[in-house]
Chains A and B, each alone.
Chain A
Amino acid sequence: MTGTELRKPALVAVAFLVAMVVIAILLAGANPADIVYGIVERALFTRAGLLEALMRTIPLTIMGLGIAIAFKARIFNIGMDGQLIAGSVVAVVAAPLLPANVAGIVLFLGLGFLGGAVWGGIAGGIKARFGGNEIIATIMLNYVAVQMLSWLVRGPLQEKMRIIPRTDAIDQALRLPVLFDGTRIHAGLIVAVLAVVVVALVVMRGRFGYRLAVVGSNDHAAQYAGISPSRMAATVLVISGALAGLAGAVEVAGLYGRLQEGFAPGFGIAAIAVALVARLNPLLVPVSAFGFSLLYSGLGALARNGVVPFPLINIMEGAIILIFLAASIALRRGPGGMRGASANG
């Protein structure tokens, strides 16, 4: 089956999805053109919207990198939300023991990394040791993590005042410094940039990257090349979990200064869309993350003003993933691609 034979049905799918989003907007009594204009205007041409988007880009980039690594090995980690929580919890619990200086900040982030790695590692162990499906394991661990956080911020970790279900603020010295005066853009931006560089080097140059590619292509090839797919699966889940935990620690140290429920809603799911649209390329992940952040920032403003209900964002995320899937098929060049194209033209 060549790519060109599927071009037309792929384009039909794209048209259908675009129509679905347009109809959804019309059903809300809004004008699709206004919505697009509103998103672009708020996200790109207002200072507040742009800064909000930039801030959200930080965790989405770090987590998108984790998804990209995992999906490259065909390991589907849907549990980044839980891993993010686990990482932030470990970091915040240990925060009082950390030195109040730059080393403390690094340790704080390192503990987040570690906590996420452990939570991802549970699913990794189940996959590697017992062959348990990682999609189900990571999803189930999400629900466990959410409940644990709910208990912690109402119970043992609750602030001394015991009014709001949240922890006390971490030491000011452990907070990530603001990079630009008058904004809330914090040093997490540097962490995100470093993460992109490291992951890109590892995936594109290193032996590990080669192993990822081999395992991702198929299990038999991996076995032939002397790579154990199950050990690779565990490693990949640990790494992507660690990145989710790091993103959580960055959010806590950079923005909130404490733990509370629902402090990073749906980031794990959004990171999947980010990585898929970036076609699992680490260098494109920040671009894709910024794009989705603009969408969130712009649509969020419209939703707050009651123009359209907010779940439109999930419809658009789903549609965007499917449109990218279909587009990659429509643009694929199979054998005889040119002939097919001229025959169609």
Chain B
Amino acid sequence: MDEVVFLSSLLAAGIRLAAPIALAAIGETLSERAGVINVGIEGIMLVGAFVAVLFAVYTGSPWVGLLAAIVAGVAMSGVHAYFVVRLKTEQIVSGIALLFLGLGLSGYGYRLTLGEAGAAVKIPGFRELDILGLADVPVIGPILFGQHALVYLAVASAIAMAYMFRATRLGVIIKAVGETPVAADSAGINVDRVRFLCVLVAGGFAGAGGAFLSTAHLWGFVENMTAGRGFLAIACVVFARWNPVAAVLVALVFGIADAAQIRLQTIFPAVPYQFFVIAPYVVAIVSLAVGSRSSRMPAALGIPFAKPR
């Protein structure tokens, strides 16, 4: 029974740790399906994390914080969209610049506002839900019914997005824009507009991921607190073959690896803790080697669209 309880708490914690990565990965899937890669997700998440804490503290509501983080994420990705869609610049370079901006804006903003006090401020954060009062049911309760609201929203939006790609006109349009933009253009689709909107929505998801990290998971903001989760999200998209539901599952693997390393540290105090901290990163490196060969990549990913004359 002890093992079962351990496994249950590991899985529940794994889901918590996976949620920010999953949210960012769902958004990135949408953006990449439309042909735009954004390697600046990490920067957007950082800004989301900071803005969520700031607004949660000032208004007392984590929901306002979440909303503000989504708006900030959309604004940040708007810069990326303007450069890569409107100005047709190199997508990777613009993404890298976004990473710098996010690092700077979040760290700068924090030091000017909450960080100025020096002492830690109390963050009104999200609490776990208790759906139908079932969160205390042993083993499956904490996993299925005791998660944060955002976790359920993430899963729901991944499923909705998968349905959109599979069965709706909108999904067809987005896929066309990412696969054969020239054909989409001649069919009367405004390629640039579709891409712009997809990048904006992706930014909102990344902002929400950052908000989860700072208001639901760690309850506070620390400079550079995303610790590579934005890049893990991009890795998820690749391993998941650009499928949003699969991306959530891959994120779960990273989350469980992270939850496991924290537990293993206490079980094996003789082993230097750094060996456990690297676990999620090593998992990502290994899965890069194992899972990368893929023919499912959107054909026009990373290529600016120029209207044929």
Contact = CB atoms under 8 A, between A and B. Distances in A.
Interface of A: 1, 6, 9-10, 13, 24, 27-28, 76, 78, 122, 126, 129-133, 135-137, 139-144, 147-148, 150-151, 154-155, 269, 272-273, 276, 309-319, 321-322, 325-326, 329
Interface in B129-154: none
Given A24-B108, A143-B228, A315-B104, A126 B285 contact: yes
B100 A318 contact: yes
B276 to A, nearest CB: 9
Contacts of B70: none
Contacts of B108: 24, 28, 309, 311-312, 314-315
Nearest to A9: B86
Contacts of A10: 87
A84 B219 CA distance: 33
Contacts of A155: 272
Closest 4 CB pairs of A and B: A314-B104, A311-B107, A318-B100, A315-B104
B97 A318 contact: yes
Interface of B: 39, 43, 79, 82-83, 86-90, 92-94, 96-108, 111-112, 223, 227-228, 231-232, 234-235, 238, 272, 274-275, 277-278, 281-282, 284-285, 288-290, 292-294, 306-307
Contact of A28 (B112, B281, B290, B307): B112
Contacts of A1: 88, 306-307
Given A137-B285, A314-B107, A315-B104, A6 B88 contact: yes
A126 B292 CA distance: 9
Given A141-B285, A311-B103, A315-B104, 20 more contacts: A13-B82, A24-B108, A28-B108, A122-B285, A126-B289, A126-B292, A131-B292, A131-B293, A132-B288, A133-B238, A140-B284, A141-B281, A310-B107, A314-B107, A317-B104, A318-B101, A318-B103, A319-B97, A322-B83, A325-B93
Nearest to B40: A318
A276 B232 CA distance: 25
A303 to B, nearest CB: 10
A325 B41 CA distance: 19
Contacts of A148: 274, 278
Given A1-B306, A135-B234, A136-B231, A322 B79 contact: yes
Contacts of A133: 234-235, 238, 288, 292
Nearest to A330: B87
Contact of B234 (A13, A136, A144, A151): A136
